[in-house]
Amino acid sequence: MIRYIVRRLLGAIPVLFGLSIVLFAFVHLLPGDPCSAILGQHRTEEACARLRANLGLDDPLTVQYLRYLGSLLRGDLGASVINNKPFLDEFLVRFPGTIELTLGALVFAVGLGIPLGRLAARHAQSWLDGVVTAISLFGISIPVFVLGLVLVVVFGVGLGWLPTQGRIDARLRFESVTNFMLIDTLLAGRPDLFVDAVRHLILPSIALGSIPLAIITRITRASVIEVSHEDYVRTARAKGLTERRVDERHIMRNAWLPVTTVIGLQVGGLLAGAVLTETVFVWNGVGRWVVDAIGNRDLTIVQSTILVFALIFLVVNLIVDIGYAFLNPRIRYA
């Protein structure tokens, strides 16, 4: 197992290296100039020339990339060209908000997707199965930003049930410690603020978790139906085991593997979808920060954020692969 983990981690190095090349080239092909964002109304040709020289933007792309790669190898992810603040400091302030949103969407998708998939599989080819399938198709088809705007208009503006902006009511005085609102409100002994933070989390989590919900539902349904037709399941029923015991001990235990795989893969999709979701709901996270960085041509922020997200995605997939050995003892890693 240790050898397998080390081999996977070493295999991630060329992946990240190749990604850094592609990402660097793509970001530098984007139109626009950071001079306008940095200098604003004081922008002149002479000032822009000095700024580009100071930032090294006039150097050949190969020289800029080697300089960037050298910084990465030293563990330096760079600093913003707008305010010169280190990337890691800014990232750690905003990343807890994205984690909360991602976990909220994952809880929504898994907590609803697996029961719906099992329900559809038990009543396959029935009207109930058709309803669940229609819901999953709707979830896959509708874009995240469209669903987000619909939720804002219906539940926020129309019905007034839930807040539509931010992570907590801006009128409430609250000092964050860990930048995880749910944790900080509990540490502060403020259940009223905790409830307010949860209410702010509901609509963005539903919008972000809609596509993973549909995918998890369909994969769970297909996996349960496939396992239900195996010989060992029919043998278990022939022995007189109750349907609940057959479901828990034989069907779901073997159906978990593809479901676990797709849940792990959805983490990358949730991190990518957080960009649109955080923009719609004015959520103070990494996604909205990256959108602002793209508008300001803050190349360091964009490149480093995508690299960090790629590393997180690789680690999550490694954890999923290791979890296979615990879900299915027949799986062994050489």
Task: Note down the domain range covering 118.
Answer: 94-289
As a whole number of angstroms, the distance between CA 139 and CA 127 comes to 18
Angle at Cα 222 formed by Cα 216 and Cα 225, nearest 5°?
135
Residue 113 falls inside a structural domain: yes
Residue 176 falls inside a structural domain: yes
pLDDT above 80: residue 94: yes
How many domains, the chain? Answer: 1
Q: Would you give the DSSP letter of residue 79?
A: B
The pLDDT tens digits for 152-199 are 888 888 888 888 888 787 777 777 778 888 888 888 778 888 888 888
The pLDDT tens digits for 258-312 are 887 788 778 777 877 788 888 888 888 888 888 888 877 777 888 888 888 888 8
What is the arithmetic mean of pLDDT over 317-331? 69
Question: 31 pLDDT band (50/70/90 cuts)?
Answer: low
Task: Let me know: does 192 contact 173? Beta carbons within 8 Å.
Answer: no
Question: 33 pLDDT band (50/70/90 cuts)?
Answer: low
As a whole number of angstroms, the distance between CA 269 and CA 319 comes to 17
- So what's the pLDDT on residue 34? 67
Task: Let me know: does 167 contact 176? Beta carbons within 8 Å.
Answer: no
- So what's the pLDDT on residue 234? 76
pLDDT above 60: residue 334: no
As a whole number of angstroms, the distance between CA 182 and CA 184 comes to 6
Integer Rg of the chain from CA: 24
Give the residues across from 79 on adjacent strands: 86
Task: Let me know: does 43 contact 35? Beta carbons within 8 Å.
Answer: yes
Tokens representing 171 are 């009128």
CB atoms < 10 A from the CB of 279, how many? 18
The pLDDT tens digits for 96-123 are 888 888 899 999 988 998 888 888 888 8
- So what's the pLDDT on residue 158? 82
CA distances to 62, 84, 87, 90, 287 from 299, in Å: 15, 12, 11, 15, 15
Q: Would you give the DSSP letter of residue 40?
A: G
Residue 86 falls inside a structural domain: no
Residue 216 falls inside a structural domain: yes
Averaged pLDDT of the chain: 80
What residues have CB less than 8 Å from 268, skipping those under 6 apart? 309, 313, 316
**Secondary structure of residue 86 in the 3-state scheme:** strand
Task: Let me know: does 320 contact 332? Beta carbons within 8 Å.
Answer: no
Task: Please provide the distance, in angstroms rounded to a whole number, between the alpha carbons at the two ends of the chain.
Answer: 7
Residue 295 falls inside a structural domain: no
| CATH classification at residue 158 | 1.10.3720.10
- So what's the pLDDT on residue 333? 56
Buried b (16+ CB within 10 A) or exposed e, 287-318: bbbbeebbebbbbbbbbbbbbbbbebbbebbb
Residue 240 falls inside a structural domain: yes
Question: 324 pLDDT band (50/70/90 cuts)?
Answer: low
Residue 56 falls inside a structural domain: no
As a whole number of angstroms, the distance between CA 96 and CA 218 comes to 30
- Length of the chain equals 334
Residue 149 falls inside a structural domain: yes
The pLDDT tens digits for 64-86 are 788 878 878 887 787 887 777 88
